[in-house]
Chain A
Amino acid sequence: MEASSASVVAKASESRGASGRKLLTRVAILATLAAALAAPQLTTNQFYLHIANLALLNAIFTMSLGLIAAVGQLSLGHAAFAAAGAYISALGALQLKIPPIFGIAIAGLAMGVVAAVLGTILLRLRGVYFVLVTFLAGQVCTLIALNWESVTRGANGLVGIPPISIFGYALSSRLQFYYFALAAFVAVFAFIWALMRSQYGRAFRSIAENMQLAESSGIDTSRYQVVAFALGSGIAGAGGAAMAHYIRYISPDTFTFHESIAYITMLVVGGRQALLGAVLGAAFLTPLPEALRGFVSVQHIIYGAILLGVLLFLPGGLYSIGKLFTALMTRSEKRK
């Protein structure tokens, strides 16, 4: 009897602390959103806007990769889904006059379905085979993009892709696309957040931590792995399509194996958390090549070195630095 009343008291004080934290978090989110909306009005520098747009898109790619990683899987073909989505939407707009806004949705859906089919076949296999095959699948995509010249124009790529237009209003400038990208980012972030907080997230985390026990607890592991893979790859497809309508040009070089590695790097450096880690990683690594204006190869070496450095010495990534910071802050507050 005493034990249960003690737990009731404990739970009560826990929830008081929790609601305090909830309020703080909500304020922080609103403040960040307000800043994000206002910031671009303060500068006319097109370059910064471009970087911001790329960072938002990269965050979407990395968050969706994080979703796949949340079930303990590694997709080496993530960029291929982005590429396929980009080509589908671009061709839809160029050949069939499909409005880009629908093209993006179609691309996302199509890639989700493809990933679901592929995942059902592949996830029966051991984890390692899955990674190898996602790599091969990525190479197949590049192969098709290069060689199916009648459709994709091969190495020349597709030019003159129309921008997204909403109710007749074309998002042709960087500033205009920024608000679209921000909205898309918030939507993806909110979606993945809600997903990870739900029973789906519970299933994902179980599978990542102890697949055998998860399966034996009644969680259909292959089903949830396919769900994560399909959703993550579908979002990447939509993101690729958005990129195509922003840059107005795609070629087999836009999304290659190197991009797949880049998204993995961003996720790992950020801290492998599907949300905050992905955002931190994309935010940190997108401007880096521009900050290190030099040879492209040197940039890549630094990317690779950062990746190895984080893996070896800071496995929690940038996110863990943030956690450490807040832990120190709360500890000093408690002492007061």
Chain B
Amino acid sequence: MSSRCRQPDRPQPSRREGTCRPPAFAAGAAAALAALAFFLAATARAQTPSAYSPAAESGPLSVAVSGLFPGGGAPPPPDPHVKTYQGNPQYINEGHRLFNWFNCVGCHANGGGGMGPALMDNQWRYGGRLDQIYASITQGRPNGMPSWAGKIPDAQIWEIAAFVQSLSSPSPVNQGQSMPQSPPPPAANPLPPQSEAPGVATTPK
């Protein structure tokens, strides 16, 4: 997490050097410690091969963003992760939590957009296939989408991508969502919901 979150140009608190600021000044030490633990865990996981580590031929760079293929042809086959994450309610649920945790909600709201584009409207500038969404989050996009590569562990980016894709799925519960927000409904085969407590570290899958 260090390079993005460290801010050399501003006064630096030594004890937080190299980490993102934990969320709560007021919410007490427990939440702060939990947050720190989360970030440490996330960082550690980012540096070790994930269980879903892409094969050599996959990854964001292999995803086509254009629909034009000179000389004819077709988009490359979907990344193998798509099968694992797409429509999986457990991952979607976890992706929703991470969507809030990493401040995606600050720009994209609860799918309607704001600083960033709407995600619930079936319009995709850079493709709506799950691996295309994954690639957009990982690489960033030129008009203001940050590059999250190395900042969020791969597996969690896939979870966020699964949640983002679910926002424009036909399920009516995802649309017109009102406050207070609720996690997206399972698309199929409901599993027990994950903990939604803020600041609680996730269990590595």
Report if A and B associate in a common complex. no
Show the binding face of B for A, using Cβ within 8 Å.
none
